[in-house]
């Protein structure tokens, strides 16, 4: 059973998970999780290593489909529509629910092509001028334009780690997503690059629902308005970030945030 803090402002739920369990073969990694992901806010998933945060995050855009042993039970909706329905086109879903990974993973192509690739395969921006505009807009939204505008044909992999992560964010933005999932997006970055990404997350929340997995409680406190604490595959507690950190309802949450374990 998840303890839910009551004093949450009511918000549109962009995504809803109901009774979601995830198995790897017969091992249950997520046990009956239900949560609403609000629009235009940042939701943080925290909890000790191996508690299932990434596994649950991946259910939100069906990245678990790529793991043959993984099976998802329960229901997850995006704007009320079941994303596991056979009618759903998974490529379209992953454009609507984009993902940024722990390790920046630009394609071995130019900066321009990294951003243009998604819009091209989705058939947006057929003319060169339109594509140029999408690339510029996405790089500006990701806070990278000024640093790369004079070298768009250089390889994306030649950028610094923090720039590569912003390039990956620009790539996600370019296909006009509604939700952005971030799996420990700063874990490979130094403090300055981390601060830039955190600032960017704050800006992006004006337009998207954002979900971030993080090991840093300071980061969860800085960037999110909602926090869910996971432990051993269960979502133990969910509520406004400030309440989770100052007034946790469960001993397990309190022990984790005070550094007693994890
Ligand atoms: N591809 C996989 N095959 C089998 N088991 C897996 C797989 N991925 C994760 N698991 C198991 O599922 C459980 C949850 O793992 P998951 O990576 O989701 O946790 P996490 O909370 O994100 O951990 P971390 O913070 O260390 O990244 C763990 O017991 C892990 O070993």
Q: What is the residue with the minimal CA distance to atom 6 of ligand 1? A: 24
* pLDDT of 133: 96
CA of residue 41 to ligand 1 center, whole Å: 26
Q: State whether ipTM is beyond 0.90.
A: yes
Burial class (CB in 10 A: 0-12, 13-18, 19+), 76: buried
CA of residue 72 to ligand 1 center, whole Å: 14
**Could you give the 3-state DSSP secondary structure of residue 135?**
helix
Question: How far is Cα of residue 104 from the mean position of the Cα atoms in its chain?
Answer: 13
* pLDDT of 261: 66
CA of residue 54 to ligand 1 center, whole Å: 7
52 lines ligand 1 (CB under 6 A): yes
- Cα separation, 154 vs 144, in Å, equals 14
- Residue-range domain boundaries for the chain: 3-257
* pLDDT of 124: 86
Which CATH architecture is the domain 3-257 placed in?
3-Layer(aba) Sandwich (3.40)
51 lines ligand 1 (CB under 6 A): yes
- Cα separation, 218 vs 143, in Å, equals 22
Structure tokens at 194: 């981390």
With residue 145 as reference, give the H or E element that holds it: helix 145-148
CA of residue 16 to ligand 1 center, whole Å: 22
Contact 88, 170 (CB under 8 A): no
Please identify, by atom number, the ligand 1 atom nearest to the C-alpha of residue 55.
Answer: 18
Listed in sequence order, the residues at least 6 apart from 252 whose beta carbon sits closer than 8 Å to its beta carbon are: 229, 231, 236, 237
Closest CA to 215 of 203, 230, 205: 230
Phi, psi of 45, rounded to the nearest 5 degrees: -105, 120
Structure tokens at 93: 């879903």
User: What separation in angstroms does the CA of 138 have from each of 65, 88, 130?
Assistant: 28, 26, 12
Q: What is the dihedral of CA 42, 192, 141, 58, to 10 degrees?
A: -40
CA of residue 83 to ligand 1 center, whole Å: 22
- Cα separation, 11 vs 21, in Å, equals 25
Pocket test for ligand 1, best of 49, 55, 71, 220 (most atoms within 8 A of CB): 55
Chunked mean pLDDT (size 10), the chain, 262 residues: 82 93 97 96 96 97 95 97 96 95 94 96 89 96 94 97 95 95 93 91 94 95 97 97 95 91 61
Q: What is the residue with the minimal CA distance to atom 14 of ligand 1? A: 52
69 lines ligand 1 (CB under 6 A): yes
Query: How many CB atoms are located within 10 Å of the residue 111 CB?
Result: 27
115 lines ligand 1 (CB under 6 A): no
Q: What is the residue with the minimal CA distance to atom 9 of ligand 1? A: 55
* pLDDT of 104: 92
- pTM exceeds cut of 0.90: yes
């Amino acid at each position: 059973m998840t303890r839910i803090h009551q004093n949450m402002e009511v918000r549109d739920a962009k995504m809803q998970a109901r009774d979601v369990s995830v198995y790897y073969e017969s091992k249950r990694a997520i046990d009956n999780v239900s949560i609403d992901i609000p629009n235009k806010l940042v939701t943080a998933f925290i909890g000790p290593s191996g508690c299932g945060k990434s596994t649950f995050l991946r259910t939100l855009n069906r990245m678990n489909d790529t793991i043959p042993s993984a099976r998802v039970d329960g229901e997850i909706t995006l704007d009320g529509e079941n994303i596991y329905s056979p009618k759903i086109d998974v490529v379209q879903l992953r454009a609507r629910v984009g993902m940024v990974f722990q390790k920046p993973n630009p394609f071995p192509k130019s900066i321009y092509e990294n951003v243009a690739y998604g819009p091209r395969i989705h058939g947006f921006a057929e003319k060169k001028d339109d594509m140029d505009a999408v690339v510029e807009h996405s790089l500006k939204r990701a806070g990278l334009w000024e640093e790369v505008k004079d070298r768009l044909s250089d390889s994306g992999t030649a950028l610094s780690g923090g720039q590569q992560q912003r390039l990956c964010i620009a790539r996600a933005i370019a296909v006009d997503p509604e939700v952005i999932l971030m799996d420990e997006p700063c874990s490979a970055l130094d403090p300055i690059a981390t601060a830039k990404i955190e600032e960017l997350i704050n800006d992006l929340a004006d337009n998207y629902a954002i979900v971030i997995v993080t090991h840093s409680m300071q980061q969860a406190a800085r960037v999110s308005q909602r926090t869910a604490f996971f432990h051993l595959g269960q979502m133990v507690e969910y509520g406004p970030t400030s309440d989770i950190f100052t007034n946790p309802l469960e001993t397990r949450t309190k022990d984790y945030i005070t550094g007693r374990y994890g």
